[in-house]
Amino acid sequence: MSVLPDPATPFGERVARRLHDESVIWYTSVARDGTPQPNPVWFCWDGEAFLVYNRPNAGRVAHAAARPRVALHFDGNGRGGDIVVFTGIAEVAPDVPPPHAHAEYLGKYGEAIARIASSPEAFSEQYPVPIRVHPDRVRGF
Neighbour-count burial for 126-137, b at 16+ CB within 10 Å, e otherwise: ebebbbbbebee
Residues listed for the chain: 141
Average pLDDT per block of 10 residues along the chain, 141 residues long: 92 97 98 96 97 97 97 94 96 97 97 94 98 98 89
Q: Tell me, yes or no, whether 14 lies in a domain.
A: yes
- Cα torsion 86, 91, 92, 96 to 10°: value is -70
Q: What's at 76, amino acid-wise?
A: G
Structural domain harbouring 14: 10-140
Residues 120, 97, 54, 13, CA torsion sign? positive
Q: Tell me, yes or no, whether 58 lies in a domain.
A: yes
**Domain total for the chain?**
1
pLDDT at 2: 85
Q: Tell me, yes or no, whether 88 lies in a domain.
A: yes
Q: Tell me, yes or no, whether 82 lies in a domain.
A: yes
Cα(117)–Cα(10) distance, integer angstroms? 39
Q: Determine phi and psi for 17, rounding to 5 degrees.
A: -65, -45
pLDDT at 13: 97
CATH number for the domain spanning 89: value is: 2.30.110.10
